[in-house]
Structure formats: structure tokens, C-alpha cells
Amino acid sequence: MTIHTVATAPIAGQKPGTSGLRKKTPVFMGRHYLENFVQSIFDVVGADGKTFVLGGDGRYFNDRAAQVILRMAAANGAARVIVGQGAILSTPAASHLIRLNKTDGGIIMSASHNPGGPEEDFGVKFNMPNGGPAPEAVTEAMFQRTTTLTEYRILDAQDVDLSVVGRVHLGGMVVDVVDPVADYAALMETLFDFPAIRAMFAGGFRMRMDSMCAVTGPYAVEILENRLGAAKGTVTHATPLPDFGGMHPDPNPTWAHELMAEMMGPDAPDFGAASDGDGDRNMVVGRGAYVSPSDSLAVLAANAHLAPGYARGLAGVARSMPTSAAADRVADALGIGKYETPTGWKFFGNLLDAGRATLCGEESFGTGSDHVREKDGLWAILLWLNILAVRKESVAAILRQHWARFGRNYYSRHDFEAIETAKADAMMTALREALPSLPGQVVEGMTIAAADDFAYTDPVDGSVSLKQGVRVMFTDSSRFVLRLSGTGTEGATLRVYLERYAAGPEGLDLDPQEALAPVIRAAHGLARITAFTGRVTPDVVT
Ligand code: VG1
Ligand code: CO
């Protein structure tokens, strides 16, 4: 087997966004495209003598990309790669394998919640030895490397058989093909009271899990049906497909509409959940009761001590800036730390490593803890199940009690997709320019207390991240936030985050869109969304 050094030229635009490099699949399949980015990863982190984890969410091109990455790892001198069988690993399972085997990091092939298929999206991201997404300094170094790259190294070899668990060799490199589920499921058993959850299912508790034809299928069947005794067929869309069966594997009320219809219908089971393409997101729904992700984080923080893995209490709770402040209220009540970070899981890594935060969450259906360094869909679902098994109350009752105690942070996100990039940029620029003039203004009967462009200084390493989202805060603690997505692959996606606090006891049962109506009007008025983009109504409301 010979190592080829292939002459290449830099490829424009290989810049990782919120969560790795994401592009249309045909772009990734283009000449030298994947190879250039993978070589840039290896050039930045070094491959010689190292061990990596490799896996992906099974979307179209996953299998071919895995073979290329393996041949390049071997050619770059890696000692060993641990690969999920069939090149499959959920993002949280990959994070766990990186930590469990004390490897030098891992490469995850996924475009997460973006659709998959020959004409849809593909992605690659690098996770660090702590199991978490590479921080900005590292992804920036990788991007810089893509701009100067002139060659990559690849081994001339046959495909590795990834269908069988076991050890094989590729040139001088060891390839360990592992069961993608086993170690992850074992970790879950250490955190949650499986006997209590099993007893709950045995007592007639019914659940629906929608894996959306994405990676969590095999994990959910093994854990929920085989180990916890949920009825066979509890997990639907359980077989991962290269195009996710045409589904948009983003677990929110819009895309998981089948689950929503069942949970709001007459024969709804006790509990419903869904996960995304790569298994790091979760949506949870009770019978007739949708749980917003921000509320889910707050409820989990308030009840985590009911699960064995968190019985000693939490060190702190971290949330991304656009996520509602519901979790802050729990942290204050518990007397534990609270942190507000920019969007993207990479910003939680230092807080988790330093033991400052135990639970983290994002409004985008992401929740997780210090058990791995990624958000973790099934983990959140299991923590909910553990809480339900102990409290023996419905999701709706738990939510109602939570709001009665802490007040309710009404919350919604409005997404405007595939806007012409120049128009979206012009709107953000104009809004940024107006910021100094906003404090003191009265809009929709609310007085603006402060307005800024969120900047974050990492409390652990002091690194600074600027321009993380424009936020306008009112004196009654309502607020809205505008930022452009860093995961889209078509034009710009504008995200408008809306929040309003009701202390209760009155006004806890409003429809969120109604409760937020003045904040929505204020956001449209101040940012002039329609004037700049031509858009009136959002494409997705969560
Ligand atoms: C979105 C979410 C963000 C999340 C990111 C990756 O980013 O808003 O909270 O961390 O996706 O999630 P953006 O830049 O498009 O708003 V995943 O499940 O796609 O890895
Ligand atoms: Co994801």
C-alpha cells in the first residue's frame, strides 16, 4: 500500500460555522473538497501516532466519506481509529467514546438537523480530546489552513470492511470497529434509575419515541424497548436511512408533526419524544402538553437530583444567551452557578471541564450534562423518564407546578429561512448601528432598558467572542434577540428569539404567541425585518 501526496489548491469557503463545516452534499463530494478539509484538520491537530474516533449519522455519503477519512488518517500516521460499525455513531456516543478511550479527538460526519440526501446537506466536525466540539481558536486555525493548503496525503488501499465488529489493519494503522450503542447504553445505566423506569413501563406507562429515520433509532430501541421494557414499536422511524426517509430530522413541532398530532390527539400516550439527525437534540411532549426547550432545561435542573447520577446536586447551570432565563431562576433558587454563553455547544466545554456547570441547554432543543461534552437527546429523554418515574405525575402537572413556583418565561423562536445574504446582512448592520440610540425608547408600551451585541468572555480561559447576537432588553425583563444562523447552507437564516416573563399566579396559561405579541411587534418594528428582507411571517415557529 502506498501513500499518495496529492497536489491540490485551497478551496474557498471551507469555514466551520456554529457546529463544524456544513455544505450541500454535492459540494462535499466535489473534487478534493472533503480531502482538503480533513487534511486541514490533521495539519492543525496533528495525526502522527494519534488515536481518533470516527462515526456519523448515516446520511448519504457517510459511508464513502468514512473510507476517505480512514485512508487519510493512515497516510497521516495515525496509530488507531475507533469507528462505529457501519460508520455510525450518534454525536453524543462519539463524544463518549472519545472520553472513554482517552483518544486524541474524533471526527463526526453529520449535518445534524439539516436534511440528508444527494441534494441535501453533509457536514464534518472535529471534537477535542475532552469529547467536545473544537473551540473557535481551533476551528479558525483549520479554516486558515484550508486557505493555504497545497497537498493532502491518502493511502492507496481497498475499503475497510466496517460491517463487522472487530480489529483490522489499514497500512500501519489499527482500525477498531465497535458496536455504536453498547458503551453509550452502559453510560446511561450509570446515570439513571433503570429499575424505576422499567417498573413505570411495566405499570402501563406508554411512550412514543420518533427517531425520524435518523441515528437514534438503534440507540432508542436498545435502551427504551430492550433494556427498559417499553412496548415493542414504541420507537417509530427507527431505521436510519441515508435520506432520513425524506424527513427533516429536526425535532420541533413543525418537523415532528406526526408525533405532535399523536400527543395532542385523543389516544395520546403519557410521554413523547423525538431526536435529530445525529442524536444530540431532543423534543419532549407530555399528553397534550408541549415542553419548550428552555422550560425543559429549567425543569430538568430543578429535578435532576431525582436521578442517581445527579443525586449530589448540580454545580451550576449554563444556557446559551438566546435561551430563556427560566433556568436562571432555578439556579438562583438552588443557590448554584448560572452561566450565559454564545450559541453553540463548544462554549459549554470549558465550564463543564472546570466543574462549574453540570447541566447545559440551548433553546434549539439541546440539553446535556457533564457526562459527555455534547448535547445529548436520549440522555434528556431518559432524565425526563427518571423524573416521571419518581414523581409519578404527568408532564403537564410538573410543568404547571414549575411555573407556579418560578413564574413562566414565555418563549418562542421565529426563523426566516433562505433570505438573500446581502439583505440579511444589511438588516443586521442597520440594527447594530441603531443600538446606542435605543435605551430609554418606549416601544409597544415597553421601555428599552439596554441594547447590545452580545460579547462573551470565557470565565475559564479568558477567550473573547464578539458579535454573538443583537439583544434588546426591556425594563419588564422581556427581550428579543436577532442573530443569523451559522448552520444553514442556503442564503441566510434569520433567527428572532422572543421572551417575556410572567410572575404568576395569573397569566401562566396564555398561548405563547399571544403572550409575546408586543415583543414580536417590537422586534419587527425596530429591526425593520419586512422592509429589509421582504418577509412578513416566519417559516418555522418553535
Ligand atoms: C443551531 C442552533 C444552535 C445549535 C446548532 C448546532 O445553530 O441554533 O443552538 O448549537 O444549531 O446544533 P445556528 O447557528 O444555526 O443557530 V446541531 O443539533 O445542528 O449540531
Ligand atoms: Co444535532
- Which atom of ligand 1 lies closest to the CA of 114? 19
Q: What integer pLDDT is reported at residue 85 of this predicted model? A: 97
Rounded-to-integer distance, Cα 212 and Cα 355, Å? 34
Q: How far is CA 136 from CA 141, 220, 379, 458, 522, in A?
A: 8, 32, 26, 12, 33
Range of the domain at 517: 408-541
Q: Band of the pLDDT at 269, cuts 50, 70, 90? A: very high
**388 and 476 belong to one structural domain:** no
CA of 247 relative to ligand 1 center, distance in Å: 18
Place of cell 432543543: 365
**Does the reported pTM lie above 0.85?**
yes
**369 and 282 belong to one structural domain:** yes
pLDDT tens digits for range 41-96? 999 999 999 999 999 999 999 999 999 999 999 999 999 999 999 999 999 999 99
Q: Residue 11's domain is classified under what CATH number?
A: 3.40.120.10
- Which atom of ligand 1 lies closest to the CA of 363? 9
pLDDT tens digits for range 355-396? 999 999 999 999 999 999 999 999 999 999 999 999 999 999
Q: Mean pLDDT over residues 128-136, rounded?
A: 95
**533 and 470 belong to one structural domain:** yes
Give me the chain's average pLDDT, please: 96
Q: Residue 521's domain is classified under what CATH number?
A: 3.30.310.50
CA of 18 relative to ligand 2 center, distance in Å: 11
Rounded-to-integer distance, Cα 372 and Cα 209, Å? 22
pLDDT at 210 over 80: yes
Q: Mean pLDDT over residues 125-138, rounded?
A: 95
Residue nearest to atom 2 of ligand 1 (CA): 364
Rounded-to-integer distance, Cα 105 and Cα 107, Å? 7
**313 and 450 belong to one structural domain:** no
User: Mind telling me the catalytic residues?
Assistant: 112
**364 and 398 belong to one structural domain:** yes
Q: What integer pLDDT is reported at residue 507 of this predicted model? A: 83
Angle, helices 326-334 vs 293-303, to 10°: value is 10
Residue nearest to atom 1 of ligand 1 (CA): 487
In the chain, how many domains are there?
3
Given 375, 406, 437, the domain boundary residue is 406
Rounded-to-integer distance, Cα 321 and Cα 238, Å? 33
Locate 406 and state its grid cell. 418560578
**83 and 227 belong to one structural domain:** no
Selection from 58, 386, 48 nearest residue 198 by Cα: 386
CB 183 within 8 A of CB 45: no
Given 179, 194, 210, the domain boundary residue is 179
**In this structure, which residues have their CB less than 5 angstroms from ion ligand 2?**
112, 276, 278, 280-281
CA of 5 relative to ligand 2 center, distance in Å: 34
CA of 18 relative to ligand 1 center, distance in Å: 6
- Which atom of ligand 1 lies closest to the CA of 344? 10
In 77-209, which residue ranges form alpha helices assigned H by DSSP?
91-100, 136-146, 182-191, 194-202
CB 210 within 8 A of CB 237: yes
Pocket lining for ligand 1, CB < 6 angstroms? 18-19, 112-113, 276, 280-281, 320, 343-345, 362, 364, 366, 485-487, 495
pLDDT tens digits for range 487-533? 877 899 999 999 999 987 778 889 999 999 999 999 999 999 999 99
Q: Mean pLDDT over residues 428-452, rounded?
A: 96
β-pair type (235-236, 207-210): parallel
Residue 28's contacts (CB-CB under 8 Å, 6 or more residues apart) are 34, 61, 65, 122, 123, 124
**420 and 397 belong to one structural domain:** no
**98 and 194 belong to one structural domain:** no
pLDDT tens digits for range 164-187? 999 999 999 999 999 999 999 999
CB 323 within 8 A of CB 293: yes
pLDDT tens digits for range 146-163? 999 999 999 999 999 999
Residue 210: count of CB within 10 angstroms of its CB: 29
Q: What integer pLDDT is reported at residue 490 of this predicted model? A: 82
Residue 9: count of CB within 10 angstroms of its CB: 10
Q: What share of the chain is helix, strand, coil (3-state, %, to 5)?
A: 35, 25, 40
**263 and 391 belong to one structural domain:** yes
CA of 136 relative to ligand 2 center, distance in Å: 18
Least distant ligand from the CA of 133: 1
Q: Mean pLDDT over residues 191-214, rounded?
A: 97
Residue 404, SS3? helix
Given 406, 429, 456, the domain boundary residue is 406
- Which atom of ligand 1 lies closest to the CA of 17? 14
Least distant ligand from the CA of 347: 1
pLDDT tens digits for range 281-293? 999 999 999 999 9
Ligand 1 mutation pick, 15, 18, 373, 417, max ligand atoms within 8 A of CB: 18
- Which atom of ligand 1 lies closest to the CA of 487? 15
Q: Band of the pLDDT at 18, cuts 50, 70, 90? A: confident
Locate 3 and state its grid cell. 501513500
Locate 189 and state its grid cell. 445505566
**Quick one: CA dihedral 109, 112, 114, 117, positive or negative?**
positive
Q: How far is CA 288 from CA 203, 411, 514, in A?
A: 21, 18, 19
Q: What integer pLDDT is reported at residue 179 of this predicted model? A: 98
Question: At 210, phi and psi to the nearest 5?
Answer: -105, 105
CA of 368 relative to ligand 2 center, distance in Å: 12
**10 and 76 belong to one structural domain:** yes
Place of cell 433558587: 333
**340 and 426 belong to one structural domain:** no
In 147-268, which residue ranges form alpha helices assigned H by DSSP?
182-191, 194-202, 216-220, 257-264
Q: Band of the pLDDT at 111, cuts 50, 70, 90? A: very high
DSSP string, 519-530: HHHHHHHHHTHH
pLDDT tens digits for range 217-234? 999 999 999 999 999 999
Q: Band of the pLDDT at 19, cuts 50, 70, 90? A: confident
Rounded-to-integer distance, Cα 411 and Cα 288, Å? 18
Selection from 261, 237, 260 nearest residue 249 by Cα: 237
Residue 33, SS3? helix
**364 and 423 belong to one structural domain:** no
Question: At 374, phi and psi to the nearest 5?
Answer: -135, 160
Q: What integer pLDDT is reported at residue 487 of this predicted model? A: 82
Residue 434, SS3? helix
With vertex at residue 465, the alpha carbon angle to CA 463 and CA 469, rounded to the nearest 5 degrees, is 155
